[in-house]
Structure 1
Amino acid sequence: MALRLATQLIVVIAVVQSTVAERKILLNEEFDSMERWEHVVTSYRMGENQFQYYTRRPENSFIRDGKLFIKPTLTTDRFGEKFLHNGKFNLKRDGCNLAMGGGCVLKADHDIANPIQSAALVTKAKFTFTYGTLEVRAKMPRGDWLWPEISLMPAKNVYGDWPLSGYIGLVSVRGNDNFTCQGQSMGNDVMESTLEWGLSDDVNHARSMTWMSKAQGNVSFSSDFRTYRLEWNPNGLRSFVDDQIVGSIQPPEAGFWGLSGFNDTGRNPWANGTIMAPFDQEFFIAINVAVGGDLFQDNCDNYPYPKPWNNSSPITSMSSFWNKKDEWYPTWSQSSADDSALQVDYVRVYAH
Structure 2
Amino acid sequence: MRVILVSIFILIVSSCFRHEGYELVWHDEFNYIGLPDSTKWSYDTEGNSWQWGNNELQHYTSHNETNAWVQDDKLYITATKSGNPAQPYTSARIITKGKGEWQYGRIEVCAKVAGGQGAWPAIWMLPVRNEYGNWPASGEIDIMEYVGYQPDSIYCTVHTGAYNHTKNTQKSAAWHLADAQHEFHVYAIEWTEKSCKFFIDGHKCFVFHKEAKASSDQWPFDQPFYLILNVAVGGHWGGKYGIDESIFPSTMEIDYVRVYQKSKPHN
CA distance in 2, matches of 1:136, 1:195: 17
Q: Which residue of 1 aligns with 2:131?
A: 158
Establish whether residue 34 from structure 1 lines up as the match of residue 41 from structure 2: no
Q: What is the deviation of 1:159? A: 0.2
Establish whether residue 197 from structure 1 lines up as the match of residue 160 from structure 2: yes
Q: What is the deviation of 1:206? A: 3.6
CA distance in 1, matches of 2:117, 2:248: 7
Q: What is the deviation of 1:284? A: 0.3
Q: Which residue of 2 aligns with 1:212?
A: 173
Structure 1, unaligned stretches of length 5 or more? 1-16, 85-112, 177-186, 258-269, 299-306, 309-320, 322-327, 334-339
Q: 1:132 to 1:331 in 2, by over 3 A?
A: same
| Match among 230, 241, 259 for residue 349 of structure 1 | 259
CA distance in 2, matches of 1:253, 1:128: 27
Q: What is the deviation of 1:58? A: 1.2
The residue matched to 1:157 in structure 2 has which SS? coil
Q: 1:203 to 1:41 in 2, by over 3 A?
A: closer
| Match among 74, 78, 81 for residue 71 of structure 1 | 78
The residue matched to 1:351 in structure 2 has which SS? strand
| Match among 225, 229, 248 for residue 184 of structure 2 | 225
Compute the RMSD of aligned alpha carbons.
Answer: 2.3
- Contact 1:153–1:283 (8 Å) recurs in 2: yes
CA distance in 2, matches of 1:158, 1:236: 19
- Richer in strand (by share): 2
Q: What is the deviation of 1:329? A: 2.1
CA distance in 1, matches of 2:96, 2:137: 21
- Contact 2:163–2:169 (8 Å) recurs in 1: no
- Contact 1:154–1:166 (8 Å) recurs in 2: yes
CA distance in 1, matches of 2:145, 2:201: 15
CA distance in 2, matches of 1:75, 1:297: 18
- Contact 1:54–1:119 (8 Å) recurs in 2: yes
Equivalent residue runs for 1:1-352 within 5 Å: 20=19, 22-31=21-30, 32=32, 33-35=36-38, 36-42=40-46, 43=48, 44-56=50-62, 57-76=64-83, 79=84, 84=85, 113-176=86-149, 187-198=150-161, 204=167, 206-207=169-170, 210-216=171-177, 219-255=178-214, 257=215, 270=216, 277-296=219-238, 298=240, 307-308=241-242, 328-332=244-248, 340-352=250-262
Q: Could you tell me which amino acid in structure 1 is paired with residue 117 of structure 2?
A: D
Q: 1:205 to 1:199 in 2, by over 3 A?
A: farther
- Richer in helix (by share): 1
CA distance in 2, matches of 1:291, 1:297: 7
Structure 2, unaligned stretches of length 5 or more? 1-15, 263-267
The residue matched to 1:71 in structure 2 has which SS? strand
The residue matched to 1:222 in structure 2 has which SS? coil
Q: Which residue of 2 aligns with 1:325?
A: none
Q: How many residues align?
A: 238
Q: 1:202 to 1:342 in 2, by over 3 A?
A: closer
CA distance in 1, matches of 2:172, 2:21: 31
Q: Which has the larger radius of gyration?
A: 1
CA distance in 1, matches of 2:184, 2:220: 31
Q: Structure 1 length normalisation: TM-score? A: 0.63
CA distance in 1, matches of 2:77, 2:96: 15
Name the % identity.
29
